[in-house]
Chains A and B, each alone.
Chain A
């Protein structure tokens, strides 16, 4: 089925551990992005990519790295997890421009202890 596949769904990390959240889409979308969702706040953009080999920072990029080696995949890396990174993370994809529908992954609930 077409859509955005995001894994894992849940994760608990210890402070200082590293992990990668996976995101893949099979719709040939140019634009992929990562958001975090925290209570009382709208989704905030962490990093985004407008195509393979191109990434850029969003509103809250510190502590996160991304890469876009293929059109399909856009992993988000936490190199040294901190309790402040406890959040729900969503990956999204859409065509690069215009009034086109956005597709979201199922979300990853991350707890850093």
Chain B
């Protein structure tokens, strides 16, 4: 059983489309992280959320603590957004991180 579930697993979009990636989790958390992993590259933290909503450029992340759900939105998607997006939660007991399996996004010009 995965503590963190992401959907979809794979996503292909046309440049300019609005994209949503979803994350559901089953444990109590102190924070939720959205991470980006480029092909052959390291992992970069995009957002850290404990409540509400955050915006950075074309990226928006929201979290609903009661429903244990978060979404990552990309507005006006661009080919350079092509990457794997990973949802990770930090447990509020023991501080362990749990990771989703990632959503592979491809944005076609």
Residue positions of A touching B, CB distance < 8 A = 31, 33, 35, 40-45, 48, 50, 58, 90, 92, 96-107
Contact = CB atoms under 8 A, between A and B. Distances in A.
Given A42-B98, A99-B30, A99-B31, A107 B42 contact: yes
Contacts of A97: 30, 95
B43 A101 contact: no
B76 to A, nearest CB: 26
Contact of B43 (A31, A98, A99, A104): A104
Contacts of A98: 30-31
Contact of A100 (B44, B48, B99): B48
A90 B45 CA distance: 13
A31 B95 contact: yes
Contacts of B4: 42
B14 to A, nearest CB: 27
A107 B31 CA distance: 23
B101 A107 contact: no
A33 B97 contact: yes
Contacts of B49: 99
Contacts of B45: 101-104
Given A40-B101, A106-B41, A99 B50 contact: yes
A43 B99 contact: yes
B66 interface: no
A43 B43 CA distance: 11
A42 B2 contact: yes
Nearest to B100: A42
Contact of B97 (A96, A99, A102): A102
Given A42-B100, A107-B41, A96 B95 contact: yes
Interface in B6-21: none
